[in-house]
């Protein structure tokens, strides 16, 4: 609609267009030099939101990986401990079977066997107290620095002949939950959890009361003789057979109390040792299964990491060849604009009047 064109109007509009050209160049230059398509939220508000979301996902994924690695270390430590416990119990079983076969030969042999069994009991107890970075593997959330302790020594009976009842030693687990009471006779147990993906957490400790047995109800487990107390009873039985009566109680926790005859006493205890070994093996299998689960989740997390990084790059990073081509097109346009502007503004009628 401009009817009249003056040098000034050409100058104004040329400058505006050159400015526009230069601004576009600046934008492309910023994209190329930063390598980012989105340098500020207004470049792509929707993209910014996805970028924030993907970054959060990446952070969570890293977190899952760290938690998974930590979980694997916990479980590996338990695996080692439980393997050792299992082999110790096998050794104990051999000793008990030997004692059964040979009968109560001499006091000296009995004492030797019992000393050896005491050693095994001490090893198993210390294995049950294994720690990983200051935390008990078998009583994960408990505040104490040990998982299980001897709270009542064995009562071997008083008087001569010794008393008919035998109360084995009581070992108590450190509390990992609410104490047992009337409403909740087993108490509760709090697991140590590691989150390995958005939906699931894996338990990385093992409830010692389940694997080793608990003399006192608590930590979510009903009272049943613990392996420590059992080993102690076996050792005592071998050292000094309680022959003063036929109705000695071997398991005060069992209800109803079952008296066991003297001849069957050791084999009953052997049967119980087998049960205890079975529990340890179950615990081992469980640890193995959980380790596998974490390994699997870690593989997924690793591949997610690549995927998310790729996604982030797609949202945020520039398509370099495309931008370079755009840049060179823009450069050509800018040069052309400069050239034409300089020609147009340079001439006037003045040049042709003499």
Partner 1 sequence: MSTFSGINASVTALRAHRSAMDVIGQNIANVNTPGYTRQRADLEMLNAPGGSGMLTGSPVTGGGVHIVGISRAFDAVQSARVNVQTGDHALQQERAATLSDLEALTQEPSDAGLSKQLNKMWAAYADAATKVGSTNADGAARQSVLGAARNVVATLNAAWNTVDQQWSTTRTQVAADVDEVNSMASSVAVLNEQIQKATTTGGAPNELMDKRDQLVTRIVELTGATTQAGRNGQVDLYLGGGLLVQGNLANKLSVSENPNTMSDVVNGQLAAEKIASTPAPTGSDLVALQALVAKGTITVKVGENTATPLSGKLAGQVEALSKTLPRASRDYDAVATSLATKVNALQKSNGGIDGNGKTISTTPGTPAGSIAGTDLFTSNTPSPFTDRITAGGIALGESVTGNTLVLGMAANGAKDGSVAVRIAAIGTSKADPTSSVAADRMEPPDRLWASYVSDLGARSSSAEARTSAAQAVLTSSIADQQGAAGVSLDEESADLIAAQRAYQGAARVLTAVDEMLDTLINKTGLVGR
Q: Which residues bind partner 1 (CB under 8 A)?
A: 1-9, 12-13, 16, 38, 40-46, 48-49, 51-53, 55-56, 59-60, 62-63, 66-67, 70, 133-135, 139-144, 174-178, 188, 190, 192-195, 316, 348-350, 353
Q: How many CA atoms lie within 13 A of 212 on its CB side?
A: 34
Between 182 and 349, whose beta carbon lies closer to partner 1?
349
DSSP H or E stretch at residue 150: strand 148-152
Closest separation in Å from C-beta 7 to partner 1: 6
Give alpha helix (H) positions in the chain.
7-34, 45-102, 107-128, 208-212, 227-239, 262-316, 320-346
Closest separation in Å from C-beta 203 to partner 1: 13
Closest separation in Å from C-beta 62 to partner 1: 7
Instruction: Find out whether 70 and 194 touch, Cβ atoms under 8 Å.
Output: yes
Give alpha helix (H) positions in 148-261.
208-212, 227-239
Instruction: Find out whether 262 and 241 touch, Cβ atoms under 8 Å.
Output: yes
Instruction: Find out whether 37 and 342 touch, Cβ atoms under 8 Å.
Output: no
Between 246 and 345, whose beta carbon lies closer to partner 1?
345
Between 62 and 299, whose beta carbon lies closer to partner 1?
62
At residue 136, the 3 state secondary structure works out as strand
Q: Provide the 8-state DSSP code for 221.
A: B
Task: Note the Cα 348 to chain centre separation in Å.
Answer: 82
Closest separation in Å from C-beta 124 to partner 1: 23
Between 2 and 160, whose beta carbon lies closer to partner 1?
2
At residue 261, the 3 state secondary structure works out as coil
Closest separation in Å from C-beta 201 to partner 1: 8
Q: Provide the 8-state DSSP code for 141.
A: T
Whole-angstrom Cα distance, residue 232 to residue 234? 5
Could you give the angle at the alpha carbon of 235 between the alpha carbons of 240 and 88, nearest 5°?
Answer: 160
Between 9 and 126, whose beta carbon lies closer to partner 1?
9
Between 69 and 87, whose beta carbon lies closer to partner 1?
69
Instruction: Find out whether 140 and 192 touch, Cβ atoms under 8 Å.
Output: yes
DSSP H or E stretch at residue 41: none
Between 59 and 314, whose beta carbon lies closer to partner 1?
59
Give phi and psi for 277, each to the nearest 5: -60, -40
Closest separation in Å from C-beta 174 to partner 1: 7
Closest separation in Å from C-beta 13 to partner 1: 5
Closest separation in Å from C-beta 207 to partner 1: 12
Between 42 and 101, whose beta carbon lies closer to partner 1?
42
């Amino acid at each position: 609609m401009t009817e009249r064109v003056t040098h000034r109007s050409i100058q104004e509009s040329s400058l505006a267009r050159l400015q526009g050209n230069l601004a576009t160049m600046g934008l492309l230059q910023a994209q190329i030099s930063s390598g980012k398509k989105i340098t500020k939220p207004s470049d792509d508000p929707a993209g910014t939101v996805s970028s924030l979301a993907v970054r959060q996902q990446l952070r969570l994924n890293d977190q899952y990986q760290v938690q998974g690695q930590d979980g694997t270390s916990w479980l590996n430590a338990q695996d080692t401990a439980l393997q050792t416990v299992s082999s110790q119990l096998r050794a104990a079983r051999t000793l008990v079977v030997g004692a059964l076969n040979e009968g109560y030969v001499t006091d000296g042999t009995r004492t030797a066997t019992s000393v050896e069994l005491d050693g095994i009991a001490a090893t198993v107890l210390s294995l049950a107290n294994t720690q990983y970075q200051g935390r008990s593997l078998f009583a994960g959330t408990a505040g104490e620095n040990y998982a299980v302790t001897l709270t009542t020594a064995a009562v071997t009976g008083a008087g001569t002949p010794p008393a008919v009842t035998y109360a084995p030693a009581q070992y108590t687990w450190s509390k990992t939950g609410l104490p047992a009471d009337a409403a909740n006779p087993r108490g509760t147990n709090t697991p140590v959890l590691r989150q390995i993906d958005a939906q699931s957490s894996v338990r990385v400790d093992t409830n010692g009361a389940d694997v080793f047995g608990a003399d006192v109800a608590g930590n979510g487990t009903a009272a049943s003789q613990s392996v420590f107390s059992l080993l102690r009873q076996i050792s005592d039985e071998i050292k000094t057979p309680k022959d003063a009566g036929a109705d000695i109680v071997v398991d005060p926790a069992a209800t109803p109390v079952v008296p066991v005859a003297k001849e069957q006493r050791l084999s009953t205890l052997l049967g119980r040792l087998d049960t205890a070994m079975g529990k340890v093996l179950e615990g081992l299998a469980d640890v193995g299964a959980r380790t596998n689960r974490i390994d699997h989740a870690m593989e997924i997390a690793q591949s997610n990491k690549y995927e998310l990084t790729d996604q982030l790059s797609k949202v945020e990073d520039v398509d370099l060849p495309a931008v370079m081509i755009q840049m060179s097109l823009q450069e050509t346009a800018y040069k052309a604009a400069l050239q034409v502007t300089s020609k147009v503004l340079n001439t006037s009628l003045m040049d042709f009047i003499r």
